[in-house]
């Protein structure tokens, strides 16, 4: 049985995994780069181990160094979290060959499903609907041109070895095709170590619906319903909810069955996510399988009352899924990913020190975070700071609850996506449930119009929550506390 887990990750997801491990009585080892030495996840873990470096390549992507750390720390398993090495079958295999347990699926199914070209062929073979695209990828420009001309523009160039919007380009005319392919290859090589890309028909204004699935080592499979992930910027999700407003019971059942078929056909044996695109006519198409815990997993946990990290560990321990248990979808959950970025300035990343953090509290409010007051936000890693989740009986109650919680989530020192997400949640499109993957792109100018009065009120509310006395300062500007940080708010 697993007794000590090294978490090959950082920040929010590392803290999240540690929480479940403590509940299960499992010890944890946090690894950290040179600039993460005082990060929150290193303080929460039972042990910590410096793997050095600053960039991801030098630290959290260094397979051999991470495995060496696990062996030196006496860990018996490695949990990869999400991102970094979480979907790298080579790392998965190396972990197993070193005598450790990899908390995730077997590397053969990970490799099969991790390649978008190979997984497409597998889905076609098993009658799972796919978006029209090249069945194989020779890499020849002529093949891309011929497909685009036959399928019709727009088309989508995608990295075969990864996701998260990296290595992805929408092409609307032939003159853009060659440069888009070259750019996608460069991005894919930088992010995933592979320049393989493929091409498929681009579905206009689709919804992004994904199903949480799980399989054990005995051939048992279940699903834990869907998540709606259509609100995205640069092909990356920022607000998710469960259930989806787009599905009725019949469509939900068909998509769930297709999701289970997808992972079962690959011999998958842990939790995972099957992603689909849903067009305006309720036709759905297989997109990919994420062979790991998802960023947005908390909303599934809230509506099904299930700890997915615990399920991961139990499956890796060789336990069977409880197929007799009837999972139900109760209430409504919404998640906002809080990024260190300026939503009103084309999502420009922000870095610096968290000078003050106030987290929202209340019934039905969950805050999964990797930060605290004093945390340093660097330019070397993904800018996600935390995830705010609201749960309620109805969608409208959850929407109002998360808006209120966002307004009470004060983060000073770096710009965040909080004001932008409030705008989205208050928009008619979200209220009506009419969301699709390029909604933000199409209506960005509308969502980023400043209301000077409400912006000032937001700034005053933030400052008023900081309990600092001017009497303790001899320098008057220091006595203002964080007011100077907010002086250019909205410029």
293 contacts: CB under 8 Å, gap ≥ 6 = 13, 81, 82, 86, 271, 308, 309, 312
Pair (217, 258) in one structural domain? yes
Backbone angles phi, psi at 207, to 5 degrees: -100, 145
Shared domain for 172 and 215, answered yes or no, is no
CATH code, domain carrying 369? 3.30.470.20
pLDDT value of residue 120? 87
Statement to judge: residues 300 and 163 lie in one domain: no
Question: Which tokens sit at 187?
Answer: 């991005």
Catalytic option among 227, 292, 395, 399: 292
Asked if residue 388 and residue 257 are part of one domain, the reply reads: yes
How many CB atoms are closer than 10 A to CB 439?
Answer: 21
Q: Is the peptide bond before 436 cis (omega within 30 degrees of 0)?
A: no
**Which phi and psi angles does 108 have, rounded to 5°?**
-65, -45
Q: Which two tokens stand for residue 362?
A: 């209340």
d(CA 264, CA 286): 14
Together in a domain, 78 and 25: yes
Contacts of 324 (CB under 8 A, 6+ apart): none
State the CATH number of the domain containing residue 175: 3.30.1490.20
Peptide bond into 154 cis (omega under 30): yes
Distance, CA of 207 to CA of 254 (rounded, Å) = 16
Whole-angstrom distance, CA of residue 159 vs CA of residue 169: 9
Residues 226 and 197 in one domain: no
Local confidence pLDDT in tens for the 491 residues of the chain? 999 999 999 999 999 999 999 999 999 999 999 999 999 999 999 999 999 999 999 999 999 999 999 999 999 999 999 999 999 999 999 999 999 999 999 999 999 999 877 898 999 999 999 988 876 566 788 999 999 998 899 999 988 876 667 788 999 999 999 999 999 999 888 888 888 888 988 888 899 999 999 999 999 999 999 999 999 998 899 999 999 999 999 999 999 999 999 999 999 999 999 999 999 999 999 999 999 999 999 999 999 999 999 999 999 999 999 989 999 999 999 999 999 999 999 999 999 999 999 999 999 999 999 999 999 999 999 999 999 999 999 999 999 999 999 999 999 999 999 999 999 999 999 999 999 999 999 999 999 986 654 555 555 555 555 544 334 444 444 444 444 344 333 33
Quick check: is 87 in a domain? yes
Q: Alpha-carbon distance 191 to 196, whole Å? A: 12
The predicted pLDDT at position 491 comes to 35
CA R_g for the chain: 23
Residue 483: per-residue pLDDT? 42
For residues 14 and 41, what is the distance between their CA atoms, to the nearest angstrom? Answer: 6
DSSP bridge partners of 334: 241, 390
Domain that holds residue 169: 132-201
Q: Is 402 within the bounds of a domain?
A: yes
What pLDDT was estimated at residue 139?
73
- What is the per-residue pLDDT for 159? 86
Closest CA to 287 of 201, 195, 374: 201
Measured CA to CA in angstroms, residue 410 lies from 117, 212, 259, 350 at distances of 44, 32, 39, 16
Are 197 and 212 in the same domain?
A: no
Domain end among 57, 83, 103: 103
pLDDT at residue 468, rounded to an integer = 44
Domain of 87, CATH number, reads 3.40.50.20
366 is catalytic: no
Q: How far apart are CA 367 and CA 298, in angstroms?
A: 10
Q: Looking at the structure, do residues 193 and 217 belong to the same domain, yes or no? A: no
Based on the domain organization, do 293 and 219 belong to the same domain?
A: yes
Angle at which helices 418-425 and 395-407 cross, to 10°: 150
Residue 392 in any domain: the answer is: yes
* Residue 469 DSSP class: -
The structural domain count of the chain equals 3
- For residue 491, being part of any structural domain is answered with no
Instruction: Find all residues with CB under 8 Å of 176, minimum gap 6, and list them.
Output: none
Q: What is the DSSP string of 205-246?
A: S-EEEEEEEEE-TTS-EEEEEEEEEEEEETTEEEEEEES-TT
Nearest to 178 by CA among 142, 203, 202: 142
1 DSSP β-pair partners? none
CB atoms within 10 A of CB 365: 19
């Amino acid at each position: 049985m697993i007794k000590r887990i090294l978490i090959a990750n950082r920040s929010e997801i590392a803290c999240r995994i540690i929480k479940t491990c403590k509940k299960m009585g499992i010890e944890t080892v946090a690894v950290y780069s040179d600039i993460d030495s005082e990060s929150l996840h290193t303080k929460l873990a039972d042990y910590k181990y410096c793997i050095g470096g600053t960039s991801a390549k030098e630290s959290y992507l260094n397979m051999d160094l991470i495995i060496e750390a696990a062996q030196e720390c006496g860990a018996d398993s490695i949990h990869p979290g999400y991102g970094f090495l979480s979907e790298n079958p080579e790392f998965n295999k190396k972990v197993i060959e070193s005598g450790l347990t990899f908390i995730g699926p077997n590397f053969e199914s990970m490799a099969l499903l991790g390649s978008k070209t190979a997984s497409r062929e597998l889905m076609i073979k098993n009658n799972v609907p796919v978006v029209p695209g090249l069945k194989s990828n020779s890499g020849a420009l002529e093949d891309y041109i011929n497909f685009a001309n036959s399928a019709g523009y727009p088309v989508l160039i995608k990295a075969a070895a990864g996701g998260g919007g990296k290595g992805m380009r929408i092409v609307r005319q032939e003159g853009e095709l060659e440069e888009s392919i070259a750019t996608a290859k460069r991005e894919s090589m930088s992010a995933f170590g592979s320049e393989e890309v493929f091409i498929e028909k681009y579905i206009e204004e689709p919804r992004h619906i994904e199903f949480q699935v799980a399989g054990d080592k005995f051939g048992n499979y279940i699903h834990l319903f869907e998540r709606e992930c259509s609100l995205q910027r640069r092909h990356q999700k920022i607000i998710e909810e469960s259930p989806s407003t787009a599905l009725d019971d019949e469509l939900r059942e068909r998509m769930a069955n297709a999701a289970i078929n997808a992972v079962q056909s690959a011999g998958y044996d842990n939790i995972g996510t099957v992603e689909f695109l849903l067009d305006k006519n309720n036709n759905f198409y297989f997109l990919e399988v994420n062979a790991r815990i998802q960023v947005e997993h908390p909303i599934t946990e809230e509506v099904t009352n299930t700890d997915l990290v615990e399920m991961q560990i139990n499956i890796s321990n060789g336990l069977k899924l409880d197929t007799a248990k009837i999972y139900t979808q109760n209430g409504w959950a919404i998640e906002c990913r809080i990024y260190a970025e300026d939503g009103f300035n084309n999502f420009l990343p922000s870095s610096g020190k968290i000078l003050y953090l106030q987290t929202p509290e209340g019934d039905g409010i969950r805050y999964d975070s990797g930060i605290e007051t004093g945390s340093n936000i660097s330019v070397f890693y993904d800018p996600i700071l935390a995830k705010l989740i609201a749960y309620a009986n109805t969608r409208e109650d959850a929407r109002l609850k998360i808006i209120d919680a966002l307004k009470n989530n004060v983060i000073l020192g770096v710009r965040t996506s909080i004001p932008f997400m409030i705008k989205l949640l208050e928009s008619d499109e979200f209220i009506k449930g009419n969301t699709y993957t390029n909604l933000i792109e199409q209506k960005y100018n509308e969502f980023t119009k400043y209301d000077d009065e409400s912006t000032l009120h937001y700034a005053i509310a933030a400052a008023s929550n900081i309990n600092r006395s001017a009497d303790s300062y001899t320098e008057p500007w220091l006595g203002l506390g964080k007011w100077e940080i907010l002086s250019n708010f909205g410029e």
